[in-house]
Amino acid sequence: MTTDLLARPEQGAAENSSATPTELARIVRARRRPLRRVRLVVAALAAAAVAAVLVRVLLGDYVVAFADLLPILRGETLPDAPGASFIVMEAKLPRALVGLLAGMAFGAAGAMFQTSLRNPLASPDIIGISLGASAAAVTALTFLDAQGLWLPAAALAGALAVSLLMYAVGRGTALAGQRMVLVGIGIAALLASLIQLVMTRSSIQDAQAALVWLTGSLARATWPVIGLLTVAVLLLAPLLAVCARWMRLAELGDDLSSTLGAPAGRARLGLVVAVALAAVATSATGPIAFVAFLAGPIARRLCGGRPSLWAAALVGAVVVVLSDFIGDYLIPDVNLPVGVVTGALGAPLMIAVVVTAGRAGKA
């Protein structure tokens, strides 16, 4: 019954026979108002994501007129600018689309971890999930010369191995979420050392390529990578939609959420989806710093304190696409990887999130 009341607030209010019609109307309006705000925020963020992609594609060193974009997408060659089609289709648009898809994956994964484990530090780039994917991918890249689908497969295997180890250590306790976070931070330190060891044992060329990848960059953006990311996001989106319905209940803890109709298995399913999203995005762009960590809190603030996977995914997309644009054009003749920009912007915001959570008694 409680789940029904959460899903259908009008019915729950109508069943309260002690309330007057005026009070019932106020209750219904009060329950609908946060949902309207979330929908408006998601719509605004979707528009912002589209605008960020257009800025990345149309502006920069080579400016493309908006009226010329549609003919270019249709494959037409512009008589006045014959090189515009190549620049847009082979350089600007692939980077914008990879940034959009990877940012959505990082943002949704971070929000799912933080909500399911009820800890603002529970983010794939903080607790070792991204480093697990990075360690496996770098090992496969330098020693096995992995290319194509083998690289994301190795990244997914590394992320799953780290998540299974965290779950095995943290399960069965009242503070499972906190233990998983602490174990993940320790694993992240171990994996960082492993990555350094792999790079010292590899050739200079392989180490240089791995270093650029580990920084987080969209330089490897190609249409096959876009296709892989698109397929992964489309396959995981239905599972993500199912998990999004139980995010509010997951914050109440395993026992209470199970009583209200959200068994622990659904929370584990959400974590599996988050691991897969983080691994696929990391395999395409490298571990872009702080996107997964900050997208959830920013989206929650915009939504008035309510968690929203869709808002977090769109925040991540906007941050990655605009950070890539800033990295390319902030300093003349210097191209900064997107991970450098997000790291510089994310570090002070991370401190602010931790301080705010501590003052609120949620540290």
- Write the pLDDT tens digit of every residue in 60-112: 888 888 888 888 888 888 777 778 888 999 989 999 999 999 999 999 999 88
26-39: per-residue pLDDT in tens? Answer: 655 656 667 888 89
**pTM to 2 decimal places:** 0.82
> Per-residue confidence at 311, pLDDT binned at 50, 70, 90?
very high
Number of H helices, E strands in the chain: 17, 0
pLDDT above 90 (res 186):
no
Per-residue confidence (pLDDT) for residue 358, from 0 to 100: 59
Per-residue confidence (pLDDT) for residue 202, from 0 to 100: 82
Closest CA to 128 of 209, 196, 182: 182
Distances 206 to 25, 219, 220, 335 between C-alpha atoms, Å: 65, 16, 15, 21
pLDDT above 60 (res 192):
yes
CB of 289 closer than 8 Å to CB of 346: yes
CB of 119 closer than 8 Å to CB of 177: yes
Give the mean model confidence (pLDDT) for residues 141-153. 75
Per-residue confidence (pLDDT) for residue 246, from 0 to 100: 65
Give the mean model confidence (pLDDT) for residues 30-59. 89
230-285: per-residue pLDDT in tens? Answer: 998 888 888 877 777 666 665 555 555 555 455 555 556 777 888 888 888 888 88
Closest CA to 180 of 190, 189, 171, 170: 170
> Per-residue confidence at 9, pLDDT binned at 50, 70, 90?
very low
Closest CA to 218 of 118, 105, 99: 99
CB of 287 closer than 8 Å to CB of 131: yes
Q: What is the mean pLDDT of the chain?
A: 80
pLDDT above 50 (res 7):
no
CB of 214 closer than 8 Å to CB of 287: yes
Closest CA to 115 of 288, 236, 286, 240: 240
pLDDT above 80 (res 337):
yes
> Per-residue confidence at 180, pLDDT binned at 50, 70, 90?
confident
> Per-residue confidence at 1, pLDDT binned at 50, 70, 90?
very low
Query: Distance between CA 295 and CA 300 in Å, rounded?
Result: 9
CB within 8 Å of 302: residues ≥ 6 apart: 41, 45, 311, 315
Per-residue confidence (pLDDT) for residue 242, from 0 to 100: 78
Class of domain 95-359: mainly alpha
Domain range summary for the chain, segments of one domain joined by +: 95-359
